[in-house]
Chain A
Amino acid sequence: GAVVSQHPSWVICKSGTSVKIECRSLDFQATTMFWYRQFPKQSLMLMATSNEGSKATYEQGVEKDKFLINHASLTLSTLTVTSAHPEDSSFYICSARDPLETNGYTFGSGTRLTVV
């Protein structure tokens, strides 16, 4: 089945620095990828939809200048958390829709971000 690889699996960074998270579709081309954030004991909240070759579509309340999304190829989307603060500490998960599969949505393994 479709595989989505996400790196790093965890990262600790200092407040004020930027962190980049990568999401790759390994065996299929993903024109659309999705970025979610999950706080402890809460559900997944969609942050943005990443479209290959065009600007990402952000959900209401998500700062596009803080969470930079780049989807430069059909197999790679990146999320950069800029000027990270402790409140950005969360579990970030990417997902891609394989257009060749009926049950389309495959998730990456997630990235645990801790900002100290």
Chain B
Amino acid sequence: QKEVEQNSGPLSVPEGAIASLNCTYSDRVSQSFFWYRQYSGKSPELIMSIYSNGDKEDGRFTAQLNKASQYVSLLIRDSQPSDSATYLCAGRGAQKLVFGQGTRLTINP
């Protein structure tokens, strides 16, 4: 099993709808989790971090962590065209950060 796995998509969502991005992880990356957004040709930028079971909300974004199922998700409410990007799930094990394959999200106006 890969350390962090994501559905590569592409995922297409109409403007204003909720975009749901999912990620699973192995035991090797179980300390903390991050969602990054990456626009084409740019480096990743942090959207959310989550360490404890449950939900964490920040504006239009909600991260969810379920340690029993080894599952992390990111919900984007009221999706905007500017949310179109690749979303990277990352988990931390020991010192290093391990990334999933990324999910390409397109918000259709």
Binding site for B on A (CB under 8 A): 6, 32, 34, 42-46, 49, 91, 93, 95, 97, 102-103, 105, 107-110, 112
Contacts and interface: CB of A to CB of B under 8 A. Distances in A.
Contact of A105 (B34, B42, B100): B34
Interface stretch (B13-21, B67-75, B77-85, B91-99): B91-99
A95 B88 CA distance: 15
Contacts of A91: 41
Contact of A44 (B42, B45, B49, B99): B99
B49 A102 contact: yes
B95 A49 contact: yes
A107 B46 CA distance: 9
A93 B34 contact: no
B54 interface: no
A108 B43 contact: yes
Contacts of B41: 91, 112
